[in-house]
Structure 1
């Protein structure tokens, strides 16, 4: 006679405590409750030890150090800053630097990953193997090594600043900025800086509306194709929507937006914006490293789409490029987006490696110099944790909203 380890509920009696363990209807809740209690006890033990620490009891927990003068310089300054500014302003600059490199790396890593993932499935043997070499090489070498390699190249291969200086005899310098706008030096890359006059905010509003208009037109074209089978042009209307209102606004508002090109002074470039080798190294290292992982996600998503979908689209007369953009990739996104969220989070957390090349991100300012100067280790670490946690949760929330928009809608 067969036996079972599960105890059936008592049909005639009431609830018994033994059912919390032996009845499958309640056992999962019991495990969750036990885990929750253990977690609360662990946190209570840690907090109790922290507050009973003699050093912490003597110093107390205070964030007043944020209002004291920082007393140190920051090389990459997205907003004005001097060493006499407060630790709070230094922390804000570090946070902005972290957000800048994380945003740039997420964008470029996505571009590299999508291109490499699609080309890995190319019928051209050379192209597919080259992409396979890129993926296997970059994702199997630690990102810190790539950061150091690119930093070394940027700091030693680019020409010296002296090559751009005007000689005393008035002759032409050895090198000049590319197109009069871009100067590649061993101290960084000088690029034009955008300048805004009084009506600049209106120009930015028009530009934002143009970008939304491009997305609206692309959605309209996709709906027309899916609902009516009518192929609507996408590229040239998108370009018109994006650039025509901006150009008209630029001249109608009296050119509120301009470019400040870098110009060689006596010893260095004046004007423009400097991308230091540390920023370039961190940006591109995170991009090519994470792009290799994204490429595999893209390849997996494309392979998950039934081959019959592409054959049906080809039978309707769609070109290969349109098949990839309108049929394959929209369906592949359902597989690509969930792991892509994790890659974006990895980029955000890997920005903390910036200290290896001297890029002053949040870890370098708040978690580095500020912590060492003030000795407020607990407060600095708590602020660091709060920033990375909140930023990571924001990325997850935004990407999950997009993931739900491309997911299959069940009837």
Structure 2
């Protein structure tokens, strides 16, 4: 008795699931595109009726305002586009520094939650419960008031070596840039590459032989030695621009304003509390038998956490850790509340001067969307690198 195979579905038939999915997605995209076109055209029509100018041509016009804090010189006669660039660099400056510091502090506090010392464990728990439950905006105000009201006036600035701390911020010596400093920067860059290569080699040797090699002190020594070699090759320059107390201000050297310090401290301390809970939950997710096995092998508590618990906890830690990095970057928009000139502050000023509200808001949305997507892409790449793969 012969059996007939079921009739083959045509690829362009409505009975084909793949064909229907393509049609549904095309219809969805068409509806979304139509809605976006309607909103945009309606907005432009209403603005034209009310005599409101539109377009991004204002970006090439002179800004007409100065910016109190910038990584590179900015004059009021320069364009709005360059002003937005200053605001973006200020945002990146605090976001990158905050992510690094919050990760370090949060990781240490998260590990401290498992300390066998009751005092350390209690202090870490108190830190998390205190700073996690106070709104970040209030914390920014608190640190700003501490830096501008509690610290002494500039004339009575606290001096620790070549550093000055006062209501005017933190002043510190900076090297005078020249060929020698370029050699130092090149040496440090080469040292970072060599340290990365050493860590990869040490990790492979550990997987093959089980022999533990230093993963911090040796790489740190490589970076410092490479920087020292670059310094010697560049002529061993020791020229620094050292700050000194003037009659009304601390002159020369580098400076961090109280607005930047308040924003960095507030975002770092607030986000570190959440990162600490992420690290704690990741370590708690590792089966208890792993810690018992590490103890049976004779590993001390430090090696147990570094070599056994944290590598396995990373697959649980990284996804929510990415969310905290995104939150810190987006929370930096609160800088406008304490007068730090980030991209939101620049956009507000440009909006008030030009009346291009839609365009300025569109620029802000694009900036934060791009920063969030780049952060997510980097963390997803790292997550794929450290994921535990089945053999």
Question: So what's the TM-score if we normalise by structure 1?
Answer: 0.86
Is residue 2:87 matched to residue 1:111?
A: no
Query: Within 5 A, what are the aligned runs for 1:54-203?
Result: 54-55=47-48, 61-164=54-157, 177-179=159-161, 181-203=162-184
Corresponding pairs, count: 386
Structure-2 separation of matches of 1:314 and 1:389: 46
Structure-2 separation of matches of 1:264 and 1:191: 12
Match of 1:356 in 2: 337
- Tell me if the contact between 1:97 and 1:360 (Cα under 8 Å) persists in the aligned partners: yes
Match of 1:167 in 2: none
Deviation at 1:199, TM superposition (A): 4.4
The partner residue of 1:322 within 300, 303, 317 is: 303
- Tell me if the contact between 1:210 and 1:241 (Cα under 8 Å) persists in the aligned partners: yes
Change (3 A) 1:315 1:223: farther
* Structure 2 alignment gaps of length 5 or more: 1-5
Change (3 A) 1:30 1:295: farther
The partner residue of 1:229 within 199, 206, 210 is: 210
- Tell me if the contact between 2:187 and 2:229 (Cα under 8 Å) persists in the aligned partners: no
Structure-2 separation of matches of 1:29 and 1:140: 47
Residues 43-94 of structure 1 show CA distances to partners (whole Å, capped at 9, x for unaligned) of 2321221232243795554323222222222121211122222222221111
Structure-1 separation of matches of 2:8 and 2:228: 80
The partner residue of 2:188 within 207, 212, 221 is: 207
Structure-1 separation of matches of 2:208 and 2:386: 17
Match of 1:339 in 2: 320
Change (3 A) 1:307 1:216: farther
Match of 1:275 in 2: 256
Is residue 2:388 matched to residue 1:408?
A: yes
Structure-1 separation of matches of 2:57 and 2:19: 49
Structure-1 separation of matches of 2:29 and 2:20: 14
Change (3 A) 1:252 1:205: closer
Change (3 A) 1:310 1:31: farther
Match of 1:39 in 2: 32
Structure-1 separation of matches of 2:214 and 2:354: 60
Change (3 A) 1:223 1:214: same
Match of 1:242 in 2: 223
Deviation at 1:364, TM superposition (A): 0.3
Where 2:247 maps in the other structure, the secondary structure is coil
Match of 2:372 in 1: 392
Change (3 A) 1:63 1:299: same
Deviation at 1:234, TM superposition (A): 3.6
Cα RMSD (Å): 2.5
Deviation at 1:117, TM superposition (A): 0.7
* Structure 1 alignment gaps of length 5 or more: 1-10, 165-174
Change (3 A) 1:13 1:94: closer
Structure-1 separation of matches of 2:239 and 2:275: 36
Bigger shift: residues 56-65 or 304-313: 56-65
- Tell me if the contact between 2:9 and 2:15 (Cα under 8 Å) persists in the aligned partners: no
Question: So what's the TM-score if we normalise by structure 2?
Answer: 0.90
